[in-house]
């Protein structure tokens, strides 16, 4: 009762504070994105009960309000997807945070998304948010991470970001009907934690970033329950998965010279059960305005190394990625990204293509395909996905 009364009065104070802060105009914004998606897997799933056709719907409402000349704001982004596969039917608070900026510093409190890194084929240093693994195969969709972030931008010494991460979010895996799964369906709640504090272990992270002329550099460190579960096997072949407590130090570097972008990302991860080093290095070169009408063709090449070898969750242990980004720079923002990853030690290859275009002013359409080709049976993770080549169509409407 007392707590309830205190909470109410605290809320009242907060609302009063906000309304007093409204000496300037308050700006509110509300948008909704509704998406329809169809995924088709031409090959029959290699495990029982896996489906081939996945129609799906999603909705993402976003509300934001700012005041104090935009120096203070609250942002709320929620997400819901309805799908044939149970775990892929999920909802999430992508963002729900208060932000205040003053002079050189900024503070963020709540659920937020943070991106670190420079490379295209793999995102090694990016560790703050848990991957929304059922949402997309490329790992670029993230779950909102509870945090307090403090950032300081100095004149001559770069930007310092400090993160306090009080709660760990579990990775969701495909269910029985879903693709991209293992013979055994992994229940996210069955994955334990190394620390007794479990998801409430208080984690921290830090990043320093700066730029000097053509160089953009970031150094980061994370200490807490890792975002990737670690799979171990006992003598009887039983799988045991848990989130280990890790120290991860990362570097990201990009050199931007004329039409060249030279990129490097590297991490060293240290846990009781596992130490390893991983790296992505490559370049991007863009031939711009080739036809005088804005056609840009970018060429990408990256080398991927992961000391975990076949235990790397994304199976990119000693691979080369080639790709091309084609942007038409037309009024519909038509763009195509094609790429292929080939294993240097085995026959395994993954090809991908993503194309997108706007229709009218409030519709967009996307086509994506991934083809798993000659996947080597000895690939510990990837061999489970060998029949999961797919074609995806999606349309989105923005309100």
Partner 1 sequence: MKKIIVLIVVTFTMLANAQSPEVKGLEIAKAAEQADLGFNSSVVDLKMTLKNKNGQTSERSLTTKTLELTEDGDKSLIVFNSPKDVKGTSTLTFTHKVGSDDQWLFLPSIKRVKRISSNNKSGPFVGSEFAYEDLSSQEVEKYTYKFLEEKGDLLIVEQDPVDPKSGYARRVITYNKNKGYRIEKAEFYDRKNALLKTLTYSDYKLYKNKFWRASKFHMVNHQSNKETILNFSNYNFDSGLSDNDFTQAALQRAGK
Q: Which residues make up the interface to partner 1 (CB under 8 A)? A: 31, 33, 64, 70, 73, 75, 99, 101, 103-104, 106, 113-115, 117-118, 140, 142, 151, 153, 155, 159, 209, 211, 216, 254, 256, 258-261, 286, 288-289, 292-294, 296, 329-333, 358, 361-362, 364, 396, 398-399
Q: How far is the CB of 352 from partner 1 (least distance, A)?
A: 17
Q: Alpha-carbon distance 321 to 348, whole Å?
A: 12
87 phi and psi angles, rounded to 5 deg: -65, -25
Q: How far is the CB of 350 from partner 1 (least distance, A)?
A: 20
> Cβ closer to partner 1: 49 or 289?
289
Q: What is the dihedral of CA 10, 11, 12, 17, to 10 degrees?
A: 90
> Cβ closer to partner 1: 72 or 203?
72
Report whether 176 contacts 51 (CB < 8 A): no
Q: How far is the CB of 281 from partner 1 (least distance, A)?
A: 16
Q: How far is the CB of 177 from partner 1 (least distance, A)?
A: 28
Q: How far is the CB of 257 from partner 1 (least distance, A)?
A: 8
Helix boundaries (H) for the chain: 2-21
Percent of residues in the chain assigned helix, strand, coil, to nearest 5? 10, 55, 40
Q: Give Cβ neighbours of residue 121 (< 8 Å, ≥ 6 apart).
A: 280, 282, 300, 302, 304, 316, 321, 323, 339, 341
Query: Exposed, middle or buried by CB within 10 Å (0-12, 13-18, 19+), for 133?
Result: buried
Q: Give Cβ neighbours of residue 218 (< 8 Å, ≥ 6 apart).
A: 116, 125, 207, 208, 209, 250, 251, 252, 253
Q: How far is the CB of 120 from partner 1 (least distance, A)?
A: 10
> Cβ closer to partner 1: 151 or 376?
151
> Cβ closer to partner 1: 42 or 294?
294
Q: How far is the CB of 385 from partner 1 (least distance, A)?
A: 23
> Cβ closer to partner 1: 277 or 359?
359
Closest CA to 123 of 257, 385, 371, 321: 321
> Cβ closer to partner 1: 33 or 354?
33
Q: What sign results for the dihedral spanned by CA atoms 169, 175, 179, 180?
A: positive
> Considering all CA atoms of the chain, what is the largest pairwise distance in Å, rounded to the nearest integer?
71
Name the DSSP letter for residue 89: S
Closest CA to 313 of 247, 379, 238: 379
Q: Alpha-carbon distance 301 to 282, whole Å?
A: 5
Report the SS3 class of residue 139.
coil
Q: How far is the CB of 25 from partner 1 (least distance, A)?
A: 12
> Cβ closer to partner 1: 39 or 142?
142
Q: How far is the CB of 13 from partner 1 (least distance, A)?
A: 26
> Cβ closer to partner 1: 348 or 364?
364
46 phi and psi angles, rounded to 5 deg: -80, -10
> Cβ closer to partner 1: 207 or 308?
207
């Amino acid at each position: 009762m007392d707590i309830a009364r205190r909470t109410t009065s605290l809320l009242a104070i907060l609302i009063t504070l906000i309304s007093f802060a409204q000496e300037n105009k308050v700006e509110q914004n509300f948008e909704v994105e509704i998406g329809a998606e169809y995924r088709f897997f031409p090959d029959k799933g290699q495990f029982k009960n896996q489906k081939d056709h996945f129609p799906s719907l999603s909705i993402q409402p976003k509300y934001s309000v700012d005041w104090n000349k935009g120096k203070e704001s609250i942002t709320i982004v929620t997400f819901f997807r309805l799908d044939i596969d149970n775990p892929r039917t999920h909802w999430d608070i992508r963002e729900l945070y208060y932000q205040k900026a003053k002079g050189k510093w900024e503070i963020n409190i709540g659920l937020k998304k943070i991106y670190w890194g420079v490379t295209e084929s793999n995102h090694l240093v990016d560790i703050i948010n848990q991957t929304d693994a059922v949402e997309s195969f490329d790992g670029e969709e993230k779950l909102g991470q509870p945090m307090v972030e403090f950032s300081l931008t100095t004149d001559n010494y770069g930007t310092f970001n400090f993160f306090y991460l009080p709660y760990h979010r579990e990775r969701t895996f495909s269910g029985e009907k879903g693709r991209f799964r293992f013979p055994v369906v992994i229940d996210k709640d069955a994955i334990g934690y190394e620390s007794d504090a479990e998801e409430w272990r208080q984690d921290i992270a830090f990043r320093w970033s700066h730029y000097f002329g053509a160089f953009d550099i970031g150094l980061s460190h994370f200490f807490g329950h890792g975002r990737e579960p670690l799979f171990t096997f006992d003598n009887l072949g039983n799988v045991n998965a848990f989130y280990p407590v890790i120290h991860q130090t990362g570097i990201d570097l990009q050199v931007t010279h004329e039409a060249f972008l030279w990129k490097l990302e590297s991490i060293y991860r240290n846990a009781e059960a596992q130490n390893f080093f991983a790296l992505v290095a490559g370049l991007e070169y863009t031939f711009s305005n080739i036809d005088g009408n804005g056609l840009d063709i970018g060429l990408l090449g990256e080398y991927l190394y992961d000391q975990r070898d076949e235990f790397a969750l994304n199976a990119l242990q000693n691979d080369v990625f080639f790709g091309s980004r084609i942007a038409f720079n037309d009024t519909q923002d038509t763009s195509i990204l094609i790429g292929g990853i080939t294993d240097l030690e085995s026959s395994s290859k993954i090809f991908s293509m993503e194309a997108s275009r706007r229709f009218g002013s409030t519709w967009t359409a996307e086509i994506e395909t991934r083809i798993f080709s000659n996947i080597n049976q000895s690939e510990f993770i990837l061999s489970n996905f060998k029949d999961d080549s797919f074609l995806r169509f999606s349309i989105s409407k923005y309100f």
